[in-house]
Amino acid sequence: MNNNVVLLPILIPFLTAIILMFAPKKIIFQRTVSLLGLLVALGVSISLMMTVQQEGPQTLTFGSWPVPFGITMVSDMVSVLLVTTTLLLTIFIVWYSFSSIGKEREQFYYYAGIMFIITGINGAFTTGDIFNLFVFFEVFLMSSYLLIVLGGEKKQLQGSIHYLLINIISSGLFVITVAFLYSVVGTLSMADIAQKVATLEQPAILTTIAVLFLIVFGLKAAIFPLFFWLPRAYAAAPTPVLALFGALLTKVGVYAIMRTYTLIFIHDQSFTHELLMILGIGTILFGCIGALAYFDVTKIIIYNIVIAVGIILIGVSQMNTAGVEGAMYYIVHDMLIKAALFMLGGTIIALTGTANLRKMGGLMKRYPVFGWTYLVAAFSLAGIPPLSGFIGKLLIVQGGFEANNPWMSIVILLSSLVVLLSVIRIFIYAFWGEEQPATISISQTTYQRQLLPTIVLVAITVAYGVGAEAIAPYMADAGETLLNPAIYINAVTGGE
């Protein structure tokens, strides 16, 4: 029953962070140890994924306590896939940081901050206890406060105050909601809550709590109409930090909605899941408006995060195999491609010295490899068939038609056009046209050192799209776990 390996993808980054705290000034030490820690954790989590595939969900209840009384960690296919993706893309972000974040930040607990953020995110993906989920949310939020403000530029201070305020309010709401839920069901373990909720015959208070959770996690995940803080806050962060946030932080909120809405609140779907779908469509629409409205590289990609959040949530809200499986495909794809896009966008800004599309041009002549990499990433984001965004969106659209929500599927298809237009606009403005006499602020070697991790990451997303067949069994497993809460509950309680 108890399998300690479940905990290692959380413990290894945590331990790495502690070791990094002992010698903050030694940059070589910081770089090697953080990369080494991530590689080991990735290896462990891949082997964990194999175990989960063969033997079903793995669990661990702390301190040898019996199940509803101790904190349980659960690695089912959903969480182990997300944990592995997190570790994989963090390796590339750390690698990219070597050449882009700057010595001063590196000497002030930058890598320790990244390791703590990974600890929190992996913990939030793995935990099976609703209050423990809150604690892990705080772990990664506190580290993200450090990362967003580290460096102390005026822009960062302005952005971080928005970010801090909104997250403190939503965390307060989280605690209140957990208190409500606890007073109704009297337990905190998610599997136990799911069992108790099933026997309660859905009183109105549970629907209220479901909506409160949607507000809490929606604030973290930036769904409509709670996404207002995200563009300003994220635009303040330096590139590698932005890549980390854009790829991971909103996805934890999405995962939390996914988990609660497929495990706990499944007894009044005509209201809760309908609401989720409507908010998802609103999220897509407003994301599209934002992505078209700006002439700023960072802002365009930031609004693409909002669109992706909407698409994933709509997939989950269908509650059929195609929709949920599509959401799993899409969330993993989106984490990888967003990290890659922010890294590419950061290099564009570093090369041209500006984020304004109108002031750049002609990069294709000097940097052809970079241009083609960007084009592949852009097509992949829009979901052009052999690439990674395709299969997820296809399944979600199929799920929409199967669940008799054709309008929703049409919105998703139209949003893909907008996504394509918004990222191709970056390509046209930055890479085509006359070469601008812009101040090139980074040297050729720095450019090459930034390009390498980006190319490898884009290559991985291409492999993810082309090799979709190879990961299909994992995704099918994940979809099945989400749709049958009994699998999760039995894994935790041992079938009692």
Q: Which of 9, 13, 14, 255 binds other proteins (CB under 8 A)?
A: 14
Q: Which of 61, 85, 90, 156 binds other proteins (CB under 8 A)?
A: 61
Nearer to other proteins, 18 or 456 (CB): 18
Least distance in angstroms from the C-beta of 20 to other proteins: 9
Least distance in angstroms from the C-beta of 49 to other proteins: 20
Least distance in angstroms from the C-beta of 155 to other proteins: 21
Q: Which amino acid is it at 486?
A: A
Using CA atoms, how far residue 146 sits from 10, 33, 89, 106, 151, in Å, is: 19, 20, 20, 13, 10
Least distance in angstroms from the C-beta of 417 to other proteins: 49
Nearer to other proteins, 132 or 167 (CB): 132
Using CA atoms, how far residue 360 sits from 176, 296, 302, 449, 456, in Å, is: 48, 11, 19, 22, 26
Q: Which of 40, 43, 51, 62 binds other proteins (CB under 8 A)?
A: 62
Peptide bond into 225 cis (omega under 30): yes
For position 7 contacting other proteins by CB under 8 A, the verdict is: yes
Q: Which of 2, 269, 356, 448 binds other proteins (CB under 8 A)?
A: 2
Identify residues 18-47 at the interface with other proteins (CB under 8 A). Answer: 18, 21-22, 24
How many CA within 13 A on the CB side of residue 46?
A: 8
Nearer to other proteins, 125 or 427 (CB): 125
Long-range contacts made by residues 16-19, C-beta under 8 angstroms, separation at least 24? 16/41, 16/115, 17/112, 17/115, 17/116, 17/119
Stretch that binds other proteins, among 10-18, 49-57, 151-159, 305-313 (CB under 8 A): 10-18
Nearer to other proteins, 108 or 180 (CB): 108
DSSP 434: S
Nearer to other proteins, 51 or 436 (CB): 51
User: Cα 153 to the chain's mean position, in Å?
Assistant: 26
Contacts of 161 by beta carbon, 8 Å cutoff, 6+ apart: none
Stretch that binds other proteins, among 61-69, 157-165, 238-246, 307-315 (CB under 8 A): 61-69
Nearer to other proteins, 108 or 182 (CB): 108
Q: Binders of other proteins: how many residues, by CB under 8 A? A: 15
Stretch that binds other proteins, among 6-14, 74-82, 256-264, 407-415 (CB under 8 A): 6-14
* Torsion sign across C-alpha atoms 388, 394, 396, 399: negative
Q: Which amino acid is it at 429?
A: Y
- Radius of gyration, alpha carbons of the chain: 22
Least distance in angstroms from the C-beta of 158 to other proteins: 20
Among residues 227, 208, 204, which one has the least CA distance to residue 217? 227
For position 344 contacting other proteins by CB under 8 A, the verdict is: no
Q: Which of 41, 42, 48, 60 binds other proteins (CB under 8 A)?
A: 60
Q: Is 444 exposed, middle or buried (0-12, 13-18, 19+ CB in 10 A)?
A: exposed
Stretch that binds other proteins, among 45-53, 56-64, 123-131, 348-356 (CB under 8 A): 56-64
Nearer to other proteins, 22 or 432 (CB): 22
DSSP alpha helix (H) spans, 186-320: 190-199, 204-221, 230-235, 239-244, 250-263, 269-293, 297-317
Q: Which of 54, 63, 404, 434 binds other proteins (CB under 8 A)?
A: 63
Tokens of 385: 């068939």
**What is the Cα–Cα distance from 268 to 60, expressed in whole angstroms?**
31
Nearer to other proteins, 2 or 32 (CB): 2
Using CA atoms, how far residue 45 sits from 85, 259, 280, 460, in Å, is: 10, 20, 31, 17
φ and ψ of 226, to 5 deg: -110, 20
φ and ψ of 346, to 5 deg: -60, -40
Identify residues 111-150 at the interface with other proteins (CB under 8 A). Answer: none
**What is the Cα–Cα distance from 401 to 309, expressed in whole angstroms?**
20
Q: Which of 26, 43, 52, 64 binds other proteins (CB under 8 A)?
A: 64
Least distance in angstroms from the C-beta of 22 to other proteins: 5
Q: Is 180 exposed, middle or buried (0-12, 13-18, 19+ CB in 10 A)?
A: middle
CB 59 within 8 A of CB 72: yes
Stretch that binds other proteins, among 12-20, 43-51, 129-137, 337-345 (CB under 8 A): 12-20
Nearer to other proteins, 319 or 492 (CB): 492
Least distance in angstroms from the C-beta of 224 to other proteins: 38
Contacts of 174 by beta carbon, 8 Å cutoff, 6+ apart: 134, 137, 216
Q: Which amino acid is it at 375?
A: L
Nearer to other proteins, 108 or 228 (CB): 108
Write each residue from 152 to 191 as x if it is in contact with other proteins (CB under 8 A), else as -, in one continuous string.
Answer: ----------------------------------------
For position 421 contacting other proteins by CB under 8 A, the verdict is: no
Least distance in angstroms from the C-beta of 24 to other proteins: 8
Name the residues that contact other proteins, by CB under 8 A. 2, 4, 7, 11, 14-15, 18, 21-22, 24, 60-64
